Amino acid sequence: MAVVATLALAGFTACDDESEPPQRTVKGLRDASTISHREKLRIGINDDFPLMSYLEGNVRKGFDVEIARYIASSLGFQGDLRIQWVLVRTEDRIAKLRSGEVDIVVASFSITADREEFVGFAGPYLITSPEALVATEYADEIKSLPDLRKEGHVVCVAGGSTTEQLLIERGIPRVEADSPTDCRDGILRGEFHAMVSDKTILAGFRSQNPDQLTLVDMPFGVEEALGIGVPPEDENLRDLVSYFLNKSYLQGQRGETTVWQTAYTNTLGPWLGAADQPPPLQAPDLVDHDDKVQR
């Protein structure tokens, strides 16, 4: 009888070992992430990119802002009272993530192999490309990459941006500024002839100065995938953000109205034309609520 009992126990153990692990849940990942005990979600954001992320009075508006609100709400931080907005500049987005000053960054943050060594990325949530913004009076002179190289043309770029590297690789002389806004202001003052940046940022600048600035389609031949930055060590938070981006994407594929499409239509759409949300990479399959777990 003892032998039979032992064999039976071994059989149950073997079956248990071969069973599939329990499916991961949203609640489980949130409880295991760095935001589990936060009163507010700290979001790194810009405040001077029209259409993308800007202040109108005391109200934050823009495409990035609406995406950030959607992610915050999905993570359990409903409403702006549960969000702590933290201003980040192009050159300090990685530093603020690594120092723990912010939980996520939603600030026109391009996903690159170099950055992935220091940042965990969820997304992309938008595919865009670098273009040039030119003072309207020089629009007939600056239409191509060789025109940017011509002697006398002063081109501005934000230091630490992906577009700065593009200009270096193509041998285009440049003036480095602290931010894209500084480049825009320099063009309006007559200090620069053109600037190069992501077209979503450039479209925002042009929307405020349509007579003085012209957006030029430059053949850089590259696309940029904008992602949401998270601390590299917090894979649980990265997977949660990816999951909710993918949830929005799948809703759009079913023809449902999504926060993403509404945000794009109300901000970038009139200036850049129609676009669809891209599928986020490596989005996990999670259970939304524990009561849905197959027991």
Q: What is the pTM of this model?
A: 0.87
In Å, what is the CA distance from 80 to each residue of 25, 75, 210, 258?
A: 25, 13, 32, 20
Strand order in the sheet with 175-177: 175-177, 155-158, 194-198, 130-135, 213-216
Query: What pLDDT score was predicted for residue 21?
Result: 67
Claim to verify: residue 169 and residue 257 sit in the same structural domain: no
* Total count of domains within the chain: 2
Note down the domain range covering 57.
26-128+224-270
**Residue 291 forms part of a structural domain:** no
* Both structure tokens of 216: 């030029």
Contacts of 60 (CB under 8 A, 6+ apart): 45, 47, 53, 54, 80, 85
Domain co-membership, 94 together with 201: no
d(CA 36, CA 106): 20
180 and 118 share one domain? no
Spans of the chain below 70 pLDDT: 1-21, 289-295
Encoded tokens for 28:
């489980």
How much of the chain exceeds pLDDT 70, in percent? 91
Task: Based on the fold, state whether residues 92 and 50 are members of the same structural domain.
Answer: yes
What is the sign of the dihedral through the CA atoms of 225, 230, 232 and 238?
Answer: negative
pLDDT tens string 66-79: 999 999 999 999 99
In a domain, residue 17? The reply is: no
Residue 268 Cα distances to 9, 151, 207, angstroms: 63, 34, 10
Q: Is 88 exposed, middle or buried (0-12, 13-18, 19+ CB in 10 A)?
A: buried
- Do 113 and 80 lie in one domain? The reply is yes
Residue 14: predicted pLDDT: 47
Tell me which of 198, 216, 234 is where a domain ends.
Answer: 216
**CATH number for 141:** 3.40.190.10
- Whether 191 maps to a domain, the answer reads yes
Residues 81, 134: one domain?
A: no
**Same domain as 201, residue 137:** yes
Domain assignment present for residue 61? The answer is yes
Residues 232 and 123 occupy one common structural domain: yes
pLDDT of residue 219: 86
Residue where one domain finishes, among candidates 170, 191, 216: 216
**pLDDT at position 19:** 63
| Residue that the structure tokens 């990035």 belong to | 64
CB atoms within 10 A of CB 178: 13
pLDDT value at residue 18: 58
CA–CA gap between residue 92 and residue 237 (Å, rounded): 21
Q: Would you say the C-alpha torsion 120, 244, 123, 83 has a positive or negative sign?
A: negative
